[in-house]
Amino acid sequence: MTGNNVVLAVALLVWGLLFYYLLRLEGRIRKLEK
Amino acid sequence: MSASRSARAIWAILRKECRSEWRTRYGLNAALLFALTSLTAVSFAAGRLGDRSDLLAAFLWIVLLFASLASLSHTFVREVEGQTLPMLRRVASPTEIVAGKLLFNLLFLVVIELLTIPLFLLLMAAPAPQWGAFLGVLGLGSLALALASTLIGALIAQTRGRGALFAGVSFPLLLPVLAAAVNGTRAQWQNLPVASELRLLAAYGAALLAVSVLLVDHLWEE
Amino acid sequence: MILRGILLLWIAAGIILAFTWAPLVPVLQETTRVLYFHIPSAWVTVLALGWSMVASVLYLYRRRLEYDDHAGTAAELGLLFCIGATVSGSLWAKAMWGSYWNWDPRETSIFFLLLVYVAYLALRGAIDEPRRRARLAAIYSVAAFVAVPFLMFVVPRLYDTLHPDPIINPRGKVDMDNRIRMVFTGMLLGFTGLFYWMLNLRVRVLRIERRREDQGRPMEVAGA
Amino acid sequence: MTPAAPQAAAAAAMRIECRGVGHRYSAGRGLDPVSFTLTGPGLAAVTGPNGSGKSTLLRILAGLLRPVAGDSVVSVSGREVPAPERRHVTGWLAPELQFYGEFTVRENLDFAAEARGLAHGREAVLNAARAVGLSERLGDRAAALSSGLRQRLRLAFAILGDPPVLLFDEPGSHLDEAARERLAAFIQERRTSARVLVATNDSREWSLADERITLGTRDLGDPS
């Protein structure tokens, strides 16, 4: 089962990073829109 | 804008295209060169494929595809490079222009086929085709090929690099024609019915024609 | 902001459940996991293509560059998800059938969509003038719209008859019990939400770029 | 479809109107919104600094370009002619007008007459050639023409079939003195029965205009 957990962890990490990147991108866009 | 006037305009454009092609001979040479080189390469590589009708069908249509990809966009590229498009747009409507050029591309394709197919059957030692089914698939396939190439040719003629993109951009639209035509040509050599392929080619051709009629007016608006 | 928070938790939960809670499809064993990512990205690929085509028709009709932004962005995102679907599909095929590619109808139709995306984006890339690019890309998009049904449903079947493969094809109808179905639908929704969020961000960027470009030449342009 | 009604009555019902017609190319060039109305036959001059959109305006009136803003109306013998149909009632001359180099002057003009479905096409071609002094050059290849002769070919093409509206974009360019006088005489004669619009910065050409439309400046108005 450990194999699965590794893939699970990686998947969550990737999703977290992507989410964070998009959030920051949106922040910068909001600033530019003013 | 009476229909008879449109027919005359389309006829005038077709004759103009043929005369331009006859005078410059650019397209015909390119297409024949491509057809013959790919034919030789294929027959050299694959040798005599007497019984392998699926390979025969695939190679036949690849040779035709190459020949048309080399030249079917030229009828529009020539207008853009010669900057004669404004003049053409002043004498004919977009529908008439595309119709005239479609008929020219079709005629052009038939001329290439008349020259390369006998040679292909000979070089590849292909079994005698069932002429009815064979010509049916060839005809409808060529029609769909000409329809897609003409519409995409009009688009890419207006891009940077003109014809360079023609093969890649037109391929997704040519794929259904290729698949159905290859399948039909194979089936007729295996004495199988080609009705479903013919229906498919006809349906796809009709769909392309319908969409072209809707879209041609937007081709040139500047 | 709440919506984004929900999206974050929603997909995170989906991932966790996919790996821990949802049972395996008997025949597929561990490979079921990849379906939770492969099929949603395939779904978004099709959704994005439809969105791009609808936006293209709207551009031809209303001539507002806003619609072209949607058409172009949806295609760019669609390509991303399409690559994801193709790669995850072929990894899954490797695990199941031992080969990365064997023209299974579902694989080929997603791959043909990839061809459409690449061709569409190549055409966009080769035209500089925004209005001309929007117009020509829209025309291509509508023409491709006619080819897509043939590419998705007809051509793959032809490939089957052309190359009838001996490999058994177990993935006929996946019989999902409700737990799998729940996580699966959840992921589908999550991916769709992610697609629209990324689409929204990119479209807003394009709008800002155009506004800055026009700042130099203020001109009330009806509808642009 | 040149108006069948007697020349005077048809001419009287002629009108060209622009309501906030504007266009913006991405490179910044374009036409700032302009509004004006011209009725009946006459000679109007369109002037303005380079890049003020003279050519763009004429292309919009000729039905070749769909403007981003505003709309234009061209009506002949009381009937409004939509943009796609304008080619039948307008003669358009512009520097970018090119012809098929591999064809002779006659072949180019014959093709134009035939494609437009002009009644007595051959005759119309001969009249147009005579009017611009190209009668002896009918057998020459278009590619071999000097810039002056090419300009005459453009002129012959524009006046083919006697359209009721003439849109001339810098008609005098490349012409020698004799050809220029022939052009001026032609315009003087046609202005009484046709609506002529000449875009030019050559004072000789706009000085005898009834109306003058100045582009590129905010204040528009008829010459007082």
Q: What pLDDT digit, counting tens, does each position of C136-178 carry?
A: 999 999 999 999 999 888 887 776 665 555 444 444 445 667 7
pLDDT at C220 over 50: no
> Which range (B168-172, B187-191, B192-196, C156-160) has the least confidence?
C156-160
Average pLDDT over residues D140-169: 94
pLDDT at D124 over 90: yes
Count how many pairs of residues, chain B against chain C, have C-beta atoms within 8 Å: 96
- Which residues have C-beta within 8 Å of that of residue C79, sequence separation ≥ 6? C114, C117, C118, C121
Q: Answer whether B12 sits within 8 Å of D115, measured CB to CB.
A: yes
Nearest to A22 among C33, C197, C204 (CB): C197
In angstroms, the Cα distances linking C22 to B137, C33, C35, C192, D154 are: 50, 9, 12, 21, 76
Look at residue C100 and tell me whether its pLDDT is greater than 90: no
Per-residue model confidence as pLDDT tens digits over C111-125? 899 999 999 999 999
C24/B contact by beta carbon, under 8 A: no
Question: Which residue of chain D comes nearest to C133, CA vs CA?
Answer: D26
B-chain residues near C58 (CB < 8 A): none
User: Tokens 């990073």 — which residue?
Assistant: A17
Each residue's pLDDT tens digit, D23-71:
988 767 788 899 999 988 999 999 988 888 999 999 999 999 999 889 9
**Mutation site, D24, D65, D93, D114, interface B, largest B CB count within 10 A:** D114
Kindly tell me if the per-residue pLDDT of B37 is higher than 80.
yes
Q: Which residues of B fall below an 8 Å CB-CB distance to D?
A: 1, 5, 8-9, 12-13, 16, 19-20, 23-24, 82-84, 86-87, 89-93, 96, 217, 221-222
Q: Considering only B113-117, C176-180, D129-133, D193-197, which range has the smallest mean pLDDT? A: C176-180
Q: Which of C4-18, C162-176, D70-84 has the weakest average pLDDT?
A: C162-176
Residue C35 — very low, low, confident or very high, per pLDDT cuts 50/70/90? confident
What pLDDT score was predicted for residue C55?
97
Neighbours of chain B (3+ CB pairs under 8 A): C, D
Chain B residues close to C131, C-beta within 8 Å: 222
Which residue's entry shows tokens 């611009």? D132
- C109 neighbors C153 (Cβ within 8 angstroms): yes
Q: Which residues contact C84 (CB under 8 A, 6 or more apart)?
A: C37, C41
Location of structure tokens 């079947």: C157
Report whether pLDDT(C97) > 90.
no
Question: Which segment of A17-26, B17-26, C104-113, D154-163 scores lowest on mean pLDDT?
Answer: C104-113
Identity of the residue in D62, D92, D99 whose CB atom sits nearest the CB atom of B84:
D99
Q: Which residue would you say has higher pLDDT here, D219 or B198?
A: B198
3-state SS track over D161-210: CCCCEEEEECCCCCCCHHHHHHHHHHHHHHCCCCEEEEECCCHHHHCCCC
CB C139 within 8 A of CB C120: no
The confidence band for D154, taking pLDDT boundaries of 50, 70 and 90, is: very high
pLDDT for the residue D12: 56
Q: Which of B90, B219, B221 to mutate: most D Cβ within 10 Å?
A: B90
The token pair at C166 is 């001996």
The answer to whether the CB atoms of C147 and B176 lie below 8 A apart is yes
pLDDT score of C163: 59
Inter-CA distances, C223 with B178, C53, C112, C220, Å: 42, 20, 35, 9
Region B12-41 average pLDDT:
89
B contacts of D124 (beta carbons < 8 Å): none
**pLDDT value at D168 more than 60:** yes
Inter-chain touch D33–C128, beta carbons under 8 Å: no
> Which residues in chain C are closer than 8 Å to D27, comparing Cβ atoms?
129
Q: Which of B189-203, C17-31, C190-204 is predicted with the least confidence, judged by mean pLDDT?
A: C17-31
Tens of pLDDT, residue by residue over D85-98, are 999 999 999 999 99
Nearest CA-CA distance, residue D85 and chain C, Å: 20
What is the identity of the amino acid at B115? L
Q: Any idea which of C45-49, D26-30, D133-137 has the lowest mean pLDDT?
A: D26-30
Rounded average pLDDT over D116-133: 92
Across the interface, whether the CB atoms of B87 and D97 are under 8 A apart is answered: yes
Question: How many of the other CB atoms lie within 10 Å of CB of A12?
Answer: 15
Q: Indicate if the pLDDT at residue C77 is higher than 90.
A: yes
- 3-class SS shares of chain A: helix, strand, coil, % to 5: 95, 0, 5
* Mean pLDDT of the region B36-59: 84
**Which of C7, C68, C6 lies closest to C195 in space, CA to CA?**
C7
Residue D57, pLDDT score? 94
If pLDDT is split at 50, 70 and 90, which confidence band does A1 have?
low
User: Is residue A20's pLDDT more than 60?
Assistant: yes
With 90 as the cut, is the pLDDT of residue B68 above it? no
- All structural domains of chain D: 1-89+163-181+190-224 (3.40.50.300), 97-162 (no CATH)
CA D96, CA D199: separation in Å to the nearest integer? Answer: 14
Return the percentage of chain D with pLDDT > 90, whole number.
57
D69-76, strands of its sheet edge to edge: D30-39, D15-24, D69-76, D79-80
DSSP string spanning C112-167? HHHHHHHHHHHHHHT--SHHHHHHHHHHHHHHHHHHHHIIIIIHHHHHHHHS--SS
Calpha distance D20→D189 (Å, rounded)? 31
CA distances from C205 to A28, C66, C211 (A): 10, 11, 10
pLDDT value at position C3? 86
**C187, C11 in Cβ contact below 8 A?**
yes
Contacts of residue D99, defined as CB under 8 A and 6 or more positions apart, other chains included, come to B84, B87, D108, D142, D150, D153, D157
Structure confidence at residue D201 (pLDDT): 83
Q: For B127-157, how does the pLDDT look when each residue is reduced to its tens digit (9 = 90+)? A: 889 999 999 999 999 999 999 999 999 999 9
Query: Which chains form contacts with chain C, at 3 or more CB pairs under 8 Å?
Result: A, B, D
Query: CB distance from D53 to chain C under 8 Å?
Result: no
* C with D: touching (≥3 Cβ pairs within 8 Å): yes
Model confidence at B45: pLDDT above 70: yes
User: Which pLDDT does position B219 carry in this prediction?
Assistant: 94
pLDDT in the model for residue C36 = 83
* Chains near A (3 or more Cβ pairs under 8 Å): C
Contact D117 B5 (CB under 8 A): yes
Residue of D23, D109, D111 to mutate, testing the B interface (most B Cβ within 10 Å of its Cβ): D111
pLDDT at C169: 46
Residues in Cβ contact with D167 at an 8 Å cutoff, skipping those fewer than 6 apart: D58, D61, D62, D90, D91, D92, D93, D158, D197, D199
- SS3 of residue D219 by DSSP: coil
Average pLDDT, chain B: 91
